[in-house]
Amino acid sequence: MVIGKLRRDEDLREMLLAAGLGEMGATLAIPYMYFLPRTSDPYTQGVMTIVEGLQRLLRAKGAPLATDGGLGQDTAKYLGVIVPDWNEHTWASIYGAVLASPHRFAASKAVAMSGLGATGGLSDNPVAWLLGGAAIYWLFLRDDAAHARARKVGRSARGTWQGARKEWR
């Protein structure tokens, strides 16, 4: 499969903007668009931005993907449907192929969560809410003897320092 080459940064910017990345994301991703996926680090911010845009484009075509920027098995599987040897093409040619492809995936009601997303998956996890609440209580709201002693020591230490400051003058 031969995919046409793009030569201008303006074309790349237009493709990235079409994927919904915005001006900042497009500016960040353009230098990585000339790399091959197999030679680029998937954890760099530019590559994650590129993959997030591809995930948005694939979701628009009906693929049940999370838009987390992670190049997981699900993303690779759906990219492989449109561009079978996607790992051997530049990110720019993959974008061009996904944008030009008439392929539509079967609609799915459930969205697969292949990654944790921008919040780290914590907002969806009730155990994380429980642990967060316990930590807030433990640090700020409990009022036991140990905390009272710590506050008392803090006041006496402040008083000692202020007293030493007055003596120095």
Average pLDDT, the chain: 75
For residues 117 and 147, the model is more confident at 147
What's the full length of the chain, in residues? Answer: 169
Quick check: 109 pLDDT over 70? no
Residue 56 class from Cβ within 10 Å (0-12 exposed, 13-18 middle, 19+ buried)? Answer: middle
Quickly state the pLDDT bin for 163 (edges 50, 70, 90): low
Kindly tell me the sign of the dihedral angle through the C-alpha atoms of 6, 28, 112, 37: positive
Quickly state the pLDDT bin for 167 (edges 50, 70, 90): low
Give how far Cα 56 sits from Cα of 19, 27, 39, 63, 117, Å. Answer: 6, 18, 23, 9, 13
Quick check: 1 pLDDT over 80? no
Distance CA 76, CA 83 (A): 10
Span of 16-25, 99-108, 160-169 with lowest mean pLDDT: 160-169
pLDDT value for 22: 85
DSSP letters for 61-78 = TT-----S----HHHHHH
Please say whether the beta carbons of 58 and 79 come within 8 A.
yes
Quick check: 20 pLDDT over 60? yes
The count of other CB atoms within 10 Å of the CB of residue 97 is: 18
pLDDT value for 115: 46
User: What tens digit of pLDDT does each residue of 78-96 get?
Assistant: 999 999 899 899 999 998 8
Q: Quick one: average pLDDT of 41-69?
A: 90
Please say whether the beta carbons of 24 and 45 come within 8 A.
no
DSSP letters for 116-149 = -TTTTTGGG-HHHHHHHHHHHIIIII---HHHHH
Quick check: 112 pLDDT over 50? no
Q: Quick one: average pLDDT of 101-126?
A: 59
**Going by C-beta distance under 8 Å and a sequence separation of 6 or more, which residues neighbour residue 86?**
37, 76, 79, 80, 94, 97
For residues 38 and 8, the model is more confident at 38
pLDDT value for 36: 92
pLDDT value for 15: 83
Q: Quick one: average pLDDT of 129-145?
A: 74
